């Protein structure tokens, strides 16, 4: 293990900066690509380390192993960014929800936050201390990357973290938090404010530890109406982005509401560098709607990687053509890569981006 000082100061510039340039809507030779959950169950080398760790949370909490799986996809594939291996719910965990993962059932909180008393019992954690395993992972990854590509740190949106913290688990309709929203909105606002505070500190701690980019995953914003999305979701994202802009103005932030394609205009006003898009949105339409305010990241259907090499190539071409010529596109999937995906299919996808995207960057 190395000390913070050794790794937080990188003097060497990042070698492959096309992801950073695209985030800033600057010219690039080709469209950069990384994929959500690129370190994950579709990779045999991941499964090996995951088995060694015993549990998903042990893997997250063991910096050497978390760093190893973070580096696996960038070592195997020509990806243009790395993303820290962790989970959005570690924030709820250190607030006192006691997170664990049940095989085949997903995340479970032993102590969900369902009342004012539950909230009062929550910890105001020192994230540098309680999430030191994430910071250690970041430092190890930065060392392992040796400035080859940028490293992305991340969190969930307060609304999305609250979905699990209040519900106690994943759910189709999240009826516990939705009930709370209508029955006791003041309580829910207090919970969201508490999560917001910890999330902002957590993201800034990741910057201090060495990440180059931040992403905020808003997986469950689409459970809300347009008005509630403003009041219970974006209202708690905006101050987080403002805090990052104030304290780490050089760090671009990507914001992604899964299923949030109806609300791109308002997302583009959050102050982030880029918006993530799922595959239900046309990149062309999205671009017309957000103008030059933000870069766009996405949006290949993850299921497309289950097709034949030819169909993958066609699907990649369709995404590139949909965005069209110009700057500010980061190729990605519209959601996490599926565990059934053959790794060589991701390889086809990356090669297709390398083959077909340069044409969209000539003379622009």
360 catalytic, yes or no? no
- Are 35 and 80 in contact by the 8 Å Cβ rule? The answer is no
SS3 200: helix
Query: Does residue 92 contact residue 166 with C-beta atoms inside 8 Å?
Result: no
The residue (of 143 and 222) whose beta carbon lies closer to a copy of itself is 222
**In the bound complex, what is the minimum distance in angstroms from residue 279's beta carbon to a copy of itself?**
5
Burial classification of residue 13, based on how many CB atoms lie within 10 Å of its CB (0-12 exposed, 13-18 middle, 19 or more buried): exposed
CB atoms within 10 A of CB 290: 20
| CB atoms inside a 10 Å sphere around CB 354 | 14
**Catalytic residue selected from 37, 61, 114, 287:** 37
Cα dihedral across residues 68, 351, 359, 262: positive or negative = negative
* Shortest spacing between CB 170 and a copy of itself, in angstroms: 9
- For the bound state, the minimum distance from the C-beta of residue 114 to a copy of itself, rounded and expressed in Å, comes to 14
As measured in angstroms, the least distance from the Cβ of 96 to a copy of itself is 26
The residue among 294, 248, 288 whose CA lies nearest residue 274 is 294
Q: Which residues bind a copy of itself (CB under 8 A)?
A: 172-173, 175, 178-179, 181-183, 222, 224-228, 259, 261-262, 279-282, 301, 303-304, 306-308, 311, 315, 318, 338, 340
Active-site pick, 164, 202, 229, 236 = 164
User: CA 263 to CA 342: how far, in whole Å?
Assistant: 33
Structure tokens at 276: 């993530």
Cβ neighbours of residue 23 closer than 8 Å, sequence gap 6 or more: 213, 252, 254, 273, 274, 295, 330
Active-site residue, 172 included: no
Closest approach of a copy of itself to the CB of residue 115, in Å? 16
Residue with smaller CB distance to a copy of itself, 21 or 345:
345
Instruction: Tell me how far apart the alpha carbons of residues 130 and 98 are, in angstroms, rounded to a whole number.
Output: 13
Is residue 50 annotated as a catalytic residue, yes or no? yes
Out of 21, 30, 50, 114, the active site residue is 50
Nearer to a copy of itself, 65 or 162 (CB): 162
Q: Are 56 and 23 in contact (CB under 8 A)?
A: no
Q: Residue 37 catalytic?
A: yes
* Choice among 87, 93, 218, 278 that is catalytic: 87
**Which residues are known to be catalytic?**
37, 41, 50, 87, 164
């Amino acid at each position: 293990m190395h000390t913070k000082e050794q790794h937080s100061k990188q003097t060497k510039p990042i070698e492959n900066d096309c992801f950073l340039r695209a985030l800033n809507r600057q010219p690039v030779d080709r469209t950069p690509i990384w994929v959500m959950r690129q370190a994950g169950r579709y990779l045999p080398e991941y499964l090996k380390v995951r088995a060694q760790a015993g549990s998903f949370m042990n893997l997250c909490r063991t910096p050497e192993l978390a760093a190893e799986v973070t580096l696996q996809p960038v070592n195997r594939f020509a990806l243009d960014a790395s993303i820290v291996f962790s989970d959005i719910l570690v924030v709820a965990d250190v607030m006192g929800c006691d997170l664990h993962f049940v095989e085949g059932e997903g995340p479970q909180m032993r102590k969900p936050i369902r009342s004012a008393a539950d909230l009062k019992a929550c910890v105001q954690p020192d994230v540098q201390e309680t999430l030191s395993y994430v910071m250690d992972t970041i430092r190890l990854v930065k060392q392992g990357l040796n400035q080859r590509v940028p490293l992305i740190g991340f969190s969930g949106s307060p609304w999305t973290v609250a979905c699990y913290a209040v519900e106690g688990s994943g759910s189709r309709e999240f009826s516990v938090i939705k009930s709370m929203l209508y029955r006791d909105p003041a309580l829910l606002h207090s919970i969201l404010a508490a999560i917001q505070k910890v999330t902002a500190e957590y993201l800034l701690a990741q910057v201090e530890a060495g990440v180059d980019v931040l992403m905020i995953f808003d997986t469950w914003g689409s459970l809300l109406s347009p008005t509630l999305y403003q009041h219970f979701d974006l209202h708690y994202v905006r101050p987080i982005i403002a805090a990052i802009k104030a304290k780490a103005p050089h760090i671009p932030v990507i914001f992604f509401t899964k299923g949030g394609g109806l609300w791109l205009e308002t997302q583009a006003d959050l102050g982030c560098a880029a918006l993530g898009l799922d595959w239900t949105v046309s990149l062309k339409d999205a671009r017309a709607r957000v103008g030059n305010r933000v870069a766009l990241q996405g949006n290949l259907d993850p299921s497309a990687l289950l097709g034949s090499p030819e169909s993958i190539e066609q699907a990649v071409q369709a995404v590139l053509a949909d965005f069209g010529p110009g700057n500010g596109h980061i190729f990605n999937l519209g959601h996490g890569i599926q565990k059934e995906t053959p790794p060589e299919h991701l390889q086809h996808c990356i090669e297709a981006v390398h083959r077909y995207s340069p044409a969209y960057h000539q003379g622009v």
